[in-house]
């Protein structure tokens, strides 16, 4: 059966056909998905705000110290040389998002994207608290200036500004650490202009975004929604309207109508202002507000829930669903390769960096019939704690070593250069000679805590 949808002259949207903004005032909604979302929002906001306070191994759980090029992530410590490992972290997040999107659609947008989390979990709630429900807000906005309108708007925007400042301070604390941030807020901005500028610019952006720009960020700026059609297929879980069951829409009292009573609750609760009955749209952020709204209506009119529901396009059309699709095998293959690469990369990374450097312009000297190679060992402690390093000669080729400092203490992520002199009688010179040093961390016997470094021993050719 072919279902004819009503002709819609101006489809529901946050943008009118002439390009002007149709400001969205989503109505309040209750239901299981809304409850789940608010629970997740609360947990994520708590994590964001509390992480700078949490310490692991004596360091902040997340501290991206860009100025000193030290990065602390949940107990692991990275310096600038390790930054290539970030590739695996970022690509892992991207890959996980790709796979989740292919299977579960835009769960990220509706439940975990920071924009949604703070807009729905904080800013809209404050708006509702101060300005009332949708109908009241719209009535007041359309009316002229009044004391009631002015004080509510002023209070709302004042709270928004304070919140934007708080959130940007928390953000900056991830880069300067909480104690430094507390010191900064008690001193003049002139003493820390960079951090101050970041806070001001970020607060302005947050305030602009959450007070006015809102869903336009998802629709105009965020590339993820636009890529959605490339990542999903007819078996991906989306939020959709069951055309077969719902159409023709109309009064519940008319038995020739489908289940949709055309109440438009699904439209008025939508934070991006669209009508899910027009089919899957790029503007749908998968928030499930329309699912809860329609379920409530269906319960009221005594019909089964799920007219608007989580399902695949195939499922909504009553066609067979498939889980094992070529796309998922392909993504799974990429994920397996990523896992292999990440495992290798992280297992190869060592607890310290050690490189033998030759003095520029003087590869060797011959003194009293002995060849001398002057070198330096560059040592970097890549752990989060102070460590003691032991340096010992390793070579059995008759090379004599003079190591002025065989035991050295280095602070976390500290580095030093150690001079080394390697000496060999000239008559013992032979091709392919190599000097070797064993470097180990005192008190540790794991594979990452010791290594042998070396360099060719050079002298006059014989």
Which residues contribute to the site for ligand SF4 (CB under 6 A)? 239, 241, 246, 260-266, 269-272, 274, 276-277, 284-290, 293-294, 297, 307-308
Distances (CA, A) of 382 to 82, 352, 410, 436: 9, 5, 10, 22
Q: Which is nearer to ligand SF4, 128 or 451 (CB)?
A: 128
Query: Which three-class secondary structure state does DSSP give residue 23?
Result: coil
Residue number with CB closer to ligand SF4 (55 or 300): 300
Task: Classify the C-alpha dihedral 326-330-331-335 as positive or negative.
Answer: positive
Rounded Cα–Cα distance for residues 234 and 229 (Å): 10
From the CB of 172, what's the least distance to ligand SF4, in Å?
32
| Other beta carbons less than 10 A from residue 29's beta carbon | 23
> Minimum CB separation from ligand SF4 for residue 311, in Å?
12
For the bound state, the minimum distance from the C-beta of residue 105 to ligand SF4, rounded and expressed in Å, comes to 10
Instruction: Tell me how far apart the alpha carbons of residues 212 and 399 are, in angstroms, rounded to a whole number.
Output: 73
CB atoms within 10 A of CB 362: 10
Q: Which is nearer to ligand SF4, 287 or 433 (CB)?
A: 287
Length in residues, the chain: 462
Give 21's DSSP letter: B
Whether a cis peptide bond, with omega within 30° of 0, leads into 115 is: no
Residue 67 CB, shortest distance to ligand SF4, in Å, is 41
User: By C-beta, is 65 or 242 nearer to ligand SF4?
Assistant: 242
What is the closest distance, in whole angstroms, from the C-beta atom of residue 290 to ligand SF4 in the complex? 3
> Which residue, 10 or 360, is less far from ligand SF4 as judged by CB?
10
Contact (CB, 8 A) for 431 and 460: no
CB contact set of 310 (below 8 Å; sequence gap of 6+):
237, 238, 239, 288, 291
Q: Taking the complex as a whole, how short is the minimal distance between the CB of residue 276 and ligand SF4, in angstroms?
A: 4
């Amino acid at each position: 059966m072919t279902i004819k949808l009503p002709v819609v002259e101006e489809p529901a949207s946050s943008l009118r056909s002439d390009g002007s903004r149709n400001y969205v005032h989503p109505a309040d909604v209750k239901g299981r998905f809304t409850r789940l979302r608010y629970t997740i929002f609360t947990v994520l906001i708590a994590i964001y705000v509390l992480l700078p306070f949490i310490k692991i191994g004596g360091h902040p759980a997340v501290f991206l110290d860009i100025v000193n090029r030290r990065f602390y992530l949940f107990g692991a410590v990275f310096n600038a040389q390790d930054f290539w490992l970030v590739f695996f972290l970022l690509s892992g997040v991207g890959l996980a998002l790709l796979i989740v999107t292919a299977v579960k659609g835009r769960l990220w947008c509706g439940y975990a994207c920071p924009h949604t989390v703070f807009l729905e979990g904080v800013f809209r709630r404050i708006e509702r608290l101060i300005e009332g429900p949708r109908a009241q807000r719209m009535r007041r906005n359309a009316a002229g200036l009044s004391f009631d309108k002015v004080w509510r708007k002023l209070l709302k925007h004042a709270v928004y500004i304070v919140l934007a400042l708080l959130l940007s301070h928390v953000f900056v604390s991830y880069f300067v650490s909480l104690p430094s941030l507390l010191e900064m807020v008690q001193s003049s901005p002139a003493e820390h202009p960079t951090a101050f500028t970041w806070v001001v610019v970020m607060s302005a952006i947050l305030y602009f975004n959450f007070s006015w720009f809102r869903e336009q960020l998802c629709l105009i700026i965020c590339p993820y929604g636009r890529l959605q059609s490339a990542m999903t297929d007819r078996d991906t879980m989306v939020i959709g309207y069951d055309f077969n069951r719902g159409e023709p829409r109309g009064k519940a009292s008319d038995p020739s109508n489908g289940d949709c009573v055309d109440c438009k609750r699904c439209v008025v609760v939508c934070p991006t202002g669209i009508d899910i009955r027009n089919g899957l749209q790029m503007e749908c952020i998968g928030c499930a507000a329309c699912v809860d709204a329609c379920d409530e209506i269906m319960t009221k009119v005594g019909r089964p829930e799920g007219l608007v529901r989580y399902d695949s396009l195939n499922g909504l059309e009553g066609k067979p669903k498939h889980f094992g699709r070529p796309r998922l095998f392909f993504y799974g293959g990429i994920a397996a390769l990523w896992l292999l690469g990440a495992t290798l990369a992280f297992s190869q990374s060592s607890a310290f960096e050690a490189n033998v450097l030759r003095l520029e312009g003087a590869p060797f000297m011959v003194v009293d019939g002995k060849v001398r190679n002057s070198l330096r060992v560059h040592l970097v402690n890549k752990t989060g704690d102070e460590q003691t390093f032991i340096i010992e000669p390793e070579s059995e080729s008759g090379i004599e070593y003079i190591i002025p400092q065989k035991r050295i203490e280095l602070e976390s992520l500290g580095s030093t250069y150690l001079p080394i002199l390697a000496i060999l009688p000239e008559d013992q010179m032979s091709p392919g000679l190599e000097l070797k040093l064993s470097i180990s961390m005192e008190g540790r016997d794991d594979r990452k805590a010791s290594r042998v470094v070396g360099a060719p021993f050079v002298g006059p050719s014989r």
